């Protein structure tokens, strides 16, 4: 089977890496890709937001499966355009991707499906904003209704800051603060059958100790030694299956990857957010642990035959990924800096530790930074402590001027604190 992956971040690098190891995949293309993906897939230039262009490329390549990585093309209807030319596509329609594209829509679906989530108000006027902030009190949780690459959410004790963010958004969701650890649980679905993956934890804040601004994610690990072993079954029953059923009932079935961002609160598990695609950086650790070849699972989801798929198989290994970000990420990331040390990691740390590229491009012989999150250094080991050691050893070999990374990814979980 020929597979075309749309996107060019570390998540797509992880997807391409897994697909390149799958004997069912005869040719692998990625558009637009990045400097690292070029080592496992043939890159094609494309405007990933242009459905007609992606559909034409898939047709030209004779692709038997298109996998759409990021949310922006999904929300723009790229999966619909590919489906319309008769090629199986892993990724939801624009209608179903509203689960991620609109926080207000997601809240409406959850209410209809009885899915536990934070109580919330959708506000469009300053009066509504003030009433909602007053109703919930501090800490304030203020979310831009639209897509914001993980940066539209402000959680703060500071009323003035909460109010300022709310007033800067056209439509804003203000909600109850949920405490407790966060878990990301992904499920592959064809709109009917739901196949959960293993849970992971992401580190959203820029700095050690969960300080600093929210980012797209600075690192992740899996499995979660502290989590209740029944968590996956519980989330399947309370969250994933009811949400998939509700979207089907509405005539807009969700097929692709349903990402549940969860808070494990003292009052039970609550949904913080849905995403309509694989999470980044959680995908890097989840796929590192998946033993089942990926292509047929994604194809069965795309074709509506996921019920024929045997249960997924997992490695016993733990996985950790550490994101190396540019100078000044997430505010105004600097790009164009040369990256050194990649060959050393490949030579010294492989195959258990490897570098997945996020924002990189090739400039002559050099690989240079091209985005806020630049690399996702991933490692597996017999437990989290070992995976963590291997990941940080590889991180230490990478040289990128002004770069930053967290030093505490998976630290608490590795010590089982």
Binding site for ligand AMP (CB under 6 A): 118, 141, 143, 150, 153, 155, 175-178, 182, 204, 214, 261, 272-273
Name the residue whose CB lies closest to ligand AMP. Answer: 273
Q: Considering only the stretches 28-36, 272-280, 368-376, 390-398, report the one whose residues sit in contact with ligand GLY under the rule CB under 6 A.
A: 272-280
* Partner interacting with residue 41 (select from ligand GLY, ligand AMP, none; CB below 5-8 Å by kind): none
Q: How many residues bind ligand GLY (CB under 6 A)?
A: 7
Kindly tell me which of 88 and 279 has the beta carbon lying closer to ligand AMP. 279
Question: Can you give the chain as a three-state secondary structure string?
Answer: CEEEEEECCHHHHHHHHHHHCCCCCCEEEEEECCCCHHHCCEECCCCCCCHHHHHHHHHHHCCCEEEECCHHHHHCCHHHHHHHCCCCEECCCHHHHHHHHCHHHHHHHHHHHCCCECCEEEECCHHHHHHHHHHHCCCEEEEECCCCCCCCEEEECCHHHHHHHHHHCCCEEEECCCCCCEEEEEEEECCCCEEECCCEEECCEEEHHHEEEECCCCEEEECCCCCCCCHHHHHHHHHHHHHHHHHHHCCCCCCEEEEEEEEEECCEEEEEEEECCCCCCHHHHHHHHECCCHHHHHHHHHHCCHHHCCCCCECCCEEEEEEEECCCCCCCCCCCCEEECHHHHHHHCCCCEEEEECCEEEECCEEEECCCEEEEEEEEECCHHHHHHHHHHHHHHCEECCCECCCCCCHHHHHCC
Distances (CA, A) of 240 to 177, 200, 211, 233: 22, 16, 30, 10
In whole angstroms, how close is the CB of 222 to ligand GLY at the nearest point? 12
In whole angstroms, how close is the CB of 292 to ligand AMP at the nearest point? 28
Among 22, 280, 317, 337, binds ligand GLY (CB under 6 A): 280
Q: Considering only the stretches 37-45, 122-130, 248-256, 275-283, report the one whose residues sit in contact with ligand GLY under the rule CB under 6 A.
A: 275-283
Among 222, 252, 275, 321, binds ligand GLY (CB under 6 A): 275
* Partner interacting with residue 177 (select from ligand GLY, ligand AMP, none; CB below 5-8 Å by kind): ligand AMP
Looking at residues 69 to 128 of the shown chain, list those that interact with ligand GLY (rule: CB under 6 A): none
Spatial separation of the C-alpha atoms in residues 210 and 225, rounded to whole Å: 20
Among 202, 246, 349, 352, binds ligand GLY (CB under 6 A): 202
* Partner interacting with residue 381 (select from ligand GLY, ligand AMP, none; CB below 5-8 Å by kind): none
In whole angstroms, how close is the CB of 203 to ligand GLY at the nearest point? 9
- Spell out, one character per residue from 315 to 354, where the chain touches ligand GLY: x when CB under 6 A holds, - when not: ----------------------------------------
Kindly tell me which of 210 and 348 has the beta carbon lying closer to ligand AMP. 210
Is 282 a binding residue for ligand GLY by CB under 6 A? The answer is yes
* Partner interacting with residue 182 (select from ligand AMP, ligand GLY, none; CB below 5-8 Å by kind): ligand AMP
In whole angstroms, how close is the CB of 399 to ligand GLY at the nearest point? 26
CA end-to-end span of the chain: 45
Kindly tell me which of 83 and 143 has the beta carbon lying closer to ligand AMP. 143
In whole angstroms, how close is the CB of 148 to ligand AMP at the nearest point? 8
Q: Considering only the stretches 118-126, 234-242, 276-284, 389-397, report the one whose residues sit in contact with ligand GLY under the rule CB under 6 A.
A: 276-284
Is 144 a binding residue for ligand GLY by CB under 6 A? The answer is no
Among 51, 150, 199, 359, binds ligand GLY (CB under 6 A): 150
* Partner interacting with residue 141 (select from ligand AMP, ligand GLY, none; CB below 5-8 Å by kind): ligand AMP
Phi-psi map region of 86: left, alpha, beta (phi>0 left; psi -120 to 50 alpha): left
In whole angstroms, how close is the CB of 141 to ligand AMP at the nearest point? 4
CB 287 within 8 A of CB 351: no
Tokens 């990857």 identify what position? 257
| Among candidate residues 24, 2, 20, the one with its CA nearest the CA of residue 12 | 20
Which residues sit at the interface with ligand GLY, rule CB under 6 A? 150, 202, 217, 275, 279-280, 282
């Amino acid at each position: 089977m020929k597979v075309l992956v749309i996107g060019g971040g570390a998540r797509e690098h992880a997807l391409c890496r897994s697909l390149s190891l799958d004997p069912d995949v005869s040719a692998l293309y990625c558009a637009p890709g990045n400097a690292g993906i070029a080592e496992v897939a043939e890159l094609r230039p494309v405007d990933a937001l242009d459905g007609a262009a992606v559909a034409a490329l898939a047709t030209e390549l004779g692709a038997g499966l298109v996998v759409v990585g990021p949310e922006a093309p999904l929300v723009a209807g790229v999966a619909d355009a590919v489906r319309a030319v008769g090629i199986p596509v892993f990724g939801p329609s624009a209608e179903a991707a509203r689960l991620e594209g609109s926080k207000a829509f997601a809240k409406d679906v959850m209410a209809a499906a009885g899915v536990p989530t934070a109580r919330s108000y959708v506000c469009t006027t300053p009066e509504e904003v003030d009433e909602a902030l007053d109703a919930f009190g501090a800490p304030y949780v203020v979310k831009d209704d639209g897509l914001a690459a993980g940066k539209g959410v402000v959680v703060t004790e500071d009323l003035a800051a909460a109010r300022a963010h709310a007033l800067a958004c056209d439509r804003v969701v203000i909600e109850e603060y949920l405490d407790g650890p966060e878990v990301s649980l992904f499920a592959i679905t064809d709109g009917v059958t739901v196949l959960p993956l293993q849970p992971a934890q992401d580190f959203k804040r820029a700095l050690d100790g969960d300080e600093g601004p929210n980012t797209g994610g600075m690192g992740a690990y899996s499995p979660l030694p502290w989590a209740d072993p029944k968590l996956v079954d519980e989330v399947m029953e309370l969250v994933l299956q009811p949400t998939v059923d509700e979207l089907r009932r509405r005539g807009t079935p969700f097929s692709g990857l349903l990402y549940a961002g969860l808070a494990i609160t003292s009052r039970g598990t609550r949904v913080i957010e849905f995403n309509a695609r694989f999470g980044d950086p959680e995908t890097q650790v989840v796929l590192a642990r998946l033993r089942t070849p990926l292509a047929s699972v994604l194809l069965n989801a795309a074709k509506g035959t996921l019920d024929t798929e045997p249960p997924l198989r997992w490695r016993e290994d733990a996985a950790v990924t550490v994101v190396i970000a540019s100078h000044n990420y997430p505010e105004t990331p600097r790009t164009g800096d040369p990256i050194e040390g990649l060959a050393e990691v490949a030579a010294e740390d492989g195959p258990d530790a490897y570098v997945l590229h996020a924002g990189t491009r090739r400039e002559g012989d050099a690989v240079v930074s091209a985005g806020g999150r630049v690399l996702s250094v991933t490692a597996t080991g017999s437990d989290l402590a070992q995976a963590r050691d291997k990941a940080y050893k590889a991180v230490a070999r990478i040289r990128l001027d002004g770069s930053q990374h967290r030093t505490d990814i998976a630290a608490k979980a590795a010590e089982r604190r």
